[in-house]
Chain A
């Protein structure tokens, strides 16, 4: 069934206007096999985890096959979806949690939004599986690595395909587990184990938001299925909708590394680089954007919640970019850049009618950020796992393919004309400005300014890594990576170049997504061409500044100490970690210690003391301890009875 993805095929007869109302059609035909999409990688993971050492030789190939089969299935399902008039297919699998009024059915929902994600997850996932074959070739535990990767793909597919908030939550925490397992893949390094734990805990903080949002949905609407919630969304009071919206946002912030739950993401770079590319750049961390995009019918009811999403996006956008300028660790620079770019997506998804633009940037970002991470991984692979950019330099000759790929990703992220980011970022900035008023100008100007900062720190990274003097440590012999690694990189690089143009002008994604995310033609505050010109000039300025600072003067091999207070702060994460530590961690530790003491001496002691006290004053304690069980029993009984009497009197009297 090979049919060209022509424009008419993607654009549907826009069913009325607005957002989905929860009328999903039952799946038929090839969509009845949708469950296989999840089952295949899950089976791969299960076989590898239970199979033990005997799967060492063929295990990784099985994992790749499982992911590849899932990709083919995703493509087939996507094509079949295009044939459907309503562009939805819902597959009921089984009754999951049926208790009284709460009837949670486990089902899958394929619509333009989830179909887009399945392609991204399985497609980029497949490339990164293949890349890992080379990257992890020498790791004796690579079988587990591939098992976890498969587990991740399965969980992520549950996340985007689930047709209820509870099913989404299953995938949501599932990807959290996979992320935990992969960040701590080299668990014997204490810092890595700590990073994994931090990621899981901070995600859990967000997850609790999602949980409570579900409680409210059930208490007010009686269901957590998407269909039931969205069809009744208009019945919600603004206050309830705001509460739900903000709680969902908390969940999204945890998963997507948004302020104030963003500090786990840079630490998560402890995981092997393919993991950083797949989970912590291209797919999992964008799940927050998915959650909000999916829940747009709820945000429609609460303007407040919508505004807060945008504000959080804008704040994170700035934070990520500022910190990204200060780090010397190439992976952390990319991580903060991810934080910042997802800020763009949050900013966009909060703008009425611009949800599809957010997803567009999510897709192009998926390509170019994965490409950059894999290229960084290739650099590290050739440099003996060095990550300090001050120890790179002049690598473009040794690693020409890696350099080319990184350049493609670089041009895409800074929005070089006709590269992927150029289209998606410009559309976000336009949409932000088009909101008009104070909000429009604030968001718009922030988005423009950060485009310049992005250009600065990304140019800095390029120059420090590939140009200038060779500042390598002794005995380094950088070399290009094997084809098994470079081929996926090249494919992603091609995506970084063309995906923007294709998704905007060839097969317009916004039209495809319109039935789910809505579309709105706002009046332009500035003509698009003007916006493009401004953004391009600002970005060029960023590049220029970086060029002057890092290419014209030699880069020192240790970070300079005499720097501005902002740089000092940025090097320390703008003190967010210290804040967490002093506000939560330390007090928590003290509280725990105090309670342990109190429990041993206090409550337990009170029981002992009361028991002894019944038999006489503390001076006679010694005599009471005569070793006869029955006297203990008696005094225990007396003491406890006293406690009970007091409690009872208090209760009954009150």
Chain B
């Protein structure tokens, strides 16, 4: 079994699936969805089998494959998974089918029974006018056409400019009454699902790569499907958001490319030039060079993650992306940044990480508090969730740069748990928006009166975002903080204040939308459908995993711990010993093994 090229197979299956979906005759929308779901489930099954074949006590990298790709520069197609990559690939495999299921009607909302009923109640005239004005194949220009007929504030400006990708960066800052969404136009269904599957290939590749150049290629290639998912299937300001996302990422990517080349040059100056991760670890270089190369990687990852102050693209992208896209964007794409810190920044540049670590920790603390405070101030549900992620990414990066096994294992766990928890939160918020066609918190009140299951799921997702013990996010947040405290007590204490703020933004959001007297967007009247079976099936696995991993995270920590210990060795760090006692440190007092 272990001889199977697991990672390559995992990467190829969704790609083939994407081709099949794209090749389906148009009009077979239902079939496209079913094929996409099936493919993503096959990937999930393969991933489970791969995880079973992984030996936690075995080699650091397993399922290794390496073939020459561009021999002149020593570039290889080299893949392999350590415990950290393994759990993140598993997260990809879990989230994609969930997203496929949740996005079932995102490309053709007219077919959605939930939205159809909603449309029948009110504003049907405006809906049909919009649909008529927008040709099905319209993508980017559709935004402007719709903007003219919607009650968008900046509509005049947008309509006055030529069609195409215009008025991209000079779009006004988000006006608060803006994102009241019309029923979105119909767009190509099979393209959407093909893009999701292509994205899955890229996401698996980026975690599996053990050649720095290959990693860079996936890192950049990943942008393309996401750019189209946001730009073509997103909300009213999607072209602005997609462009912003692309530019920020490209800029980071360029810096990283420079640093990747720099690494090659340094390695070439000491023998044969290479991009192989394991050969680059421990590379000798001067402190100045190391800091410069570190910065190249760091900024790319900090934009991707995103860390404060590189975060401003995320609220726009997260808010405008279709819900499924937002889940993958925040749940996985952004994790490449924090994964990069741990996999590349630390082992390749241990000295620079040590020198700049305290500054990074400071950024993380700012991000934790800043993200939480901004989340509290948002009126747009999806922007709110995006800002909570800024705070969460602060926690993850803090754990990585704490240089303790608790911090780093916590950070990796956090990446997985955040994917589940924010994924669930985005999904439920999406379910609400599909019904009310508004992303604005003030448009909703007392939803729990009419949709108790939706409200209950919303609360669970929110509780997991505020890291309630018993849910998986708590274990990771606790580990990150306790790991950070050993080296940076002040940072950990300030981070703990973020725990209070998290309770505030979650409960404020819950109270404002779900509690109180009933008030819904006009088109709904006083009725709202509770969660549909398909929606329950999408969100239930996430909740089940959150509960299970909250009570019993050992299956994950067993896999992550060895990889983290290897990383700690790479950077030459050991955990601080207990300062005042410690007779019982190595194992719990009642540990009988």
> Complex formed: what's the CA distance from A193 to B455 in Å?
14
A636 CB contacts on chain B under 8 angstroms: 169, 247-248, 251
B248 CB contacts on chain A under 8 angstroms: 636
A193 contact from B378, B479, B511, B576, Cβ within 8 A? B511
Q: Given that A188-B449, A603-B309, A629-B165 are known contacts, is A235 also in contact with B504, CB under 8 Å in the complex?
A: no
Residues of A within 8 Å of B, CB-based: how many? Answer: 89
Provide the A574-587 mask, 1 if CB < 8 A to any CB of B, else 0.
00000000000000
B515 contact from A105, A184, A207, A648, Cβ within 8 A? A184
A107 CB contacts on chain B under 8 angstroms: 590
- Whether a CB of chain A sits under 8 angstroms from the CB of B194 is no
- Whether a CB of chain B sits under 8 angstroms from the CB of A127 is no
A218 contact from B292, B359, B551, B578, Cβ within 8 A? B578
Q: Given that A166-B478, A220-B580 are known contacts, is A604 also in contact with B169, CB under 8 Å in the complex?
A: no
Q: In chain A, residues 38-55, which have Cβ atoms closer than 8 Å to a Cβ of chain B? A: 49
- Whether a CB of chain A sits under 8 angstroms from the CB of B170 is yes
A604 CB contacts on chain B under 8 angstroms: 173, 312
- Interface pair A211/B373, CB less than 8 Å apart: no
- Whether a CB of chain A sits under 8 angstroms from the CB of B508 is yes
Q: Given that A100-B561, A593-B377, A629-B168 are known contacts, is A222 also in contact with B582, CB under 8 Å in the complex?
A: yes
- Interface pair A232/B507, CB less than 8 Å apart: no
Provide the B568-589 mask, 1 if CB < 8 A to any CB of A, else 0.
0000000111111111111111
- Interface pair A208/B496, CB less than 8 Å apart: yes
Q: How far is the CB of B370 from chain A (nearest CB, A)?
A: 7
Q: Which residue of chain B has its CB nearest to the CB of A605?
A: B173
- Interface pair A169/B170, CB less than 8 Å apart: no
One of B91-99, B124-132, B216-224, B467-475 at the interface: B467-475
Provide the A218-230 mask, 1 if CB < 8 A to any CB of B, else 0.
1111110101100
One of A7-15, A56-64, A197-205, A561-569 at the interface: A197-205
- Whether a CB of chain B sits under 8 angstroms from the CB of A101 is yes
A219 contact from B174, B518, B578, Cβ within 8 A? B578
- Interface pair A648/B499, CB less than 8 Å apart: no
Q: How far is the CB of B181 from chain A (nearest CB, A)?
A: 20
- Interface pair A591/B373, CB less than 8 Å apart: yes
- Interface pair B504/A201, CB less than 8 Å apart: yes
B493 contact from A22, A212, A225, A599, Cβ within 8 A? A212
Q: Given that A99-B561, A173-B469 are known contacts, is A22 also in contact with B581, CB under 8 Å in the complex?
A: no
- Whether a CB of chain A sits under 8 angstroms from the CB of B497 is yes
Q: Which residue of chain A has its CB nearest to the CB of B252?
A: A640
- Whether a CB of chain B sits under 8 angstroms from the CB of A632 is yes
- Interface pair A194/B511, CB less than 8 Å apart: yes
> Complex formed: what's the CA distance from A380 to B571 in Å?
66
B580 CB contacts on chain A under 8 angstroms: 220-221, 232, 235-237, 240
> Complex formed: what's the CA distance from A193 to B374 in Å?
22
- Interface pair A197/B170, CB less than 8 Å apart: no
B507 contact from A96, A169, A188, A201, Cβ within 8 A? A201
- Interface pair A629/B243, CB less than 8 Å apart: yes
> Complex formed: what's the CA distance from A636 to B578 in Å?
48
- Interface pair A222/B581, CB less than 8 Å apart: yes
Q: Given that A208-B497, A240-B580, A627-B167 are known contacts, is A97 also in contact with B585, CB under 8 Å in the complex?
A: no
Q: Given that A177-B463, A232-B581, A629-B165 are known contacts, is A101 also in contact with B575, CB under 8 Å in the complex?
A: yes
B584 CB contacts on chain A under 8 angstroms: 221-223, 228, 231-232
One of B146-154, B433-441, B552-560 at the interface: B552-560
B589 contact from A98, A215, A231, Cβ within 8 A? A231
> Complex formed: what's the CA distance from A49 to B547 in Å?
15
- Whether a CB of chain B sits under 8 angstroms from the CB of A505 is no
> Complex formed: what's the CA distance from A611 to B577 in Å?
48
Provide the A623-638 mask, 1 if CB < 8 A to any CB of B, else 0.
0010101001100110
> Complex formed: what's the CA distance from A599 to B168 in Å?
19
Q: How far is the CB of A143 from chain B (nearest CB, A)?
A: 11
- Interface pair B295/A627, CB less than 8 Å apart: no
- Whether a CB of chain A sits under 8 angstroms from the CB of B299 is yes
A173 CB contacts on chain B under 8 angstroms: 468-470
Q: Given that A221-B582, A627-B166 are known contacts, is A197 also in contact with B511, CB under 8 Å in the complex?
A: yes
One of B40-48, B264-272, B481-489 at the interface: B481-489
- Interface pair A103/B374, CB less than 8 Å apart: no
A201 CB contacts on chain B under 8 angstroms: 500, 503-504, 507
- Whether a CB of chain B sits under 8 angstroms from the CB of A607 is yes
- Whether a CB of chain A sits under 8 angstroms from the CB of B448 is yes
- Interface pair B581/A220, CB less than 8 Å apart: yes
B485 CB contacts on chain A under 8 angstroms: 212, 215-216, 218-219
Provide the B435-472 mask, 1 if CB < 8 A to any CB of A, else 0.
00000000000101100000010000001000011100
> Complex formed: what's the CA distance from A469 to B577 in Å?
71
A640 CB contacts on chain B under 8 angstroms: 251
- Whether a CB of chain B sits under 8 angstroms from the CB of A35 is no
Q: Which residue of chain A has its CB nearest to the CB of B550?
A: A170
- Whether a CB of chain A sits under 8 angstroms from the CB of B404 is yes
- Interface pair B243/A211, CB less than 8 Å apart: no
Q: Given that A204-B499, A603-B309 are known contacts, is A103 also in contact with B587, CB under 8 Å in the complex?
A: yes
- Interface pair A600/B578, CB less than 8 Å apart: no
- Interface pair B514/A187, CB less than 8 Å apart: yes
Q: Which residue of chain A has its CB nearest to the CB of B173?
A: A600
- Interface pair B579/A188, CB less than 8 Å apart: no
> Complex formed: what's the CA distance from A103 to B578 in Å?
13
Q: Given that A94-B554, A197-B508, A595-B377 are known contacts, is A105 also in contact with B591, CB under 8 Å in the complex?
A: yes
A231 CB contacts on chain B under 8 angstroms: 584, 589
Provide the B207-247 mask, 1 if CB < 8 A to any CB of A, else 0.
00000000000000000000000000000000000010001
B590 contact from A204, A218, A221, A227, Cβ within 8 A? A227
- Whether a CB of chain A sits under 8 angstroms from the CB of B307 is no
> Complex formed: what's the CA distance from A545 to B373 in Å?
51
> Complex formed: what's the CA distance from A600 to B173 in Å?
6
Q: How far is the CB of B486 from chain A (nearest CB, A)?
A: 5
- Whether a CB of chain B sits under 8 angstroms from the CB of A644 is yes
One of B68-76, B317-325, B342-350, B405-413 at the interface: B405-413
B499 CB contacts on chain A under 8 angstroms: 204, 207-208, 211
Q: Which residue of chain B has its CB nearest to the CB of A639?
A: B251
Q: In chain A, residues 65-106, which have Cβ atoms closer than 8 Å to a Cβ of chain B? A: 90, 92, 94-105
> Complex formed: what's the CA distance from A481 to B299 in Å?
69
A184 CB contacts on chain B under 8 angstroms: 515
Q: In chain B, residues 498-535, which have Cβ atoms closer than 8 Å to a Cβ of chain A? A: 499-500, 503-504, 507-508, 511, 514-518
Q: Given that A200-B507, A596-B377 are known contacts, is A211 also in contact with B166, CB under 8 Å in the complex?
A: no
Q: Given that A99-B557, A604-B312 are known contacts, is A595 also in contact with B374, CB under 8 Å in the complex?
A: yes
A237 CB contacts on chain B under 8 angstroms: 580
B168 CB contacts on chain A under 8 angstroms: 627, 629, 632
Q: In chain B, residues 156-174, which have Cβ atoms closer than 8 Å to a Cβ of chain A? A: 161-162, 164-170, 173-174
Name B's A-contacting residues (CB within 8 A): 161-162, 164-170, 173-174, 243, 247-248, 250-251, 254-255, 288, 291-292, 295, 299, 309, 312, 356, 359, 370, 373-374, 376-378, 404-406, 409-410, 446, 448-449, 456, 463, 468-470, 475, 478-479, 481-482, 485-486, 489, 492-493, 496-497, 499-500, 503-504, 507-508, 511, 514-518, 551-554, 557-558, 561, 565, 575-592
A-B contact pairs, 28 of them (CB 8 A): A22-B589, A96-B552, A97-B557, A99-B410, A99-B479, A107-B590, A173-B468, A188-B517, A189-B516, A197-B508, A197-B511, A208-B497, A219-B578, A221-B578, A221-B582, A222-B584, A225-B589, A237-B580, A595-B377, A601-B173, A603-B309, A604-B312, A627-B162, A627-B166, A633-B247, A637-B254, A640-B251, A644-B255
Q: Contacts A100-B565, A235-B580, A603-B312 given; 20 further ones with Cβ under 8 A?
A: A24-B590, A94-B552, A94-B554, A96-B554, A100-B404, A100-B405, A100-B561, A101-B586, A105-B590, A105-B591, A173-B470, A177-B468, A188-B449, A188-B516, A219-B578, A595-B377, A605-B173, A627-B165, A627-B166, A640-B251
The 7 tightest CB contacts between A and B, nearest first, are: A222-B578, A100-B405, A222-B585, A232-B581, A596-B377, A215-B485, A221-B581
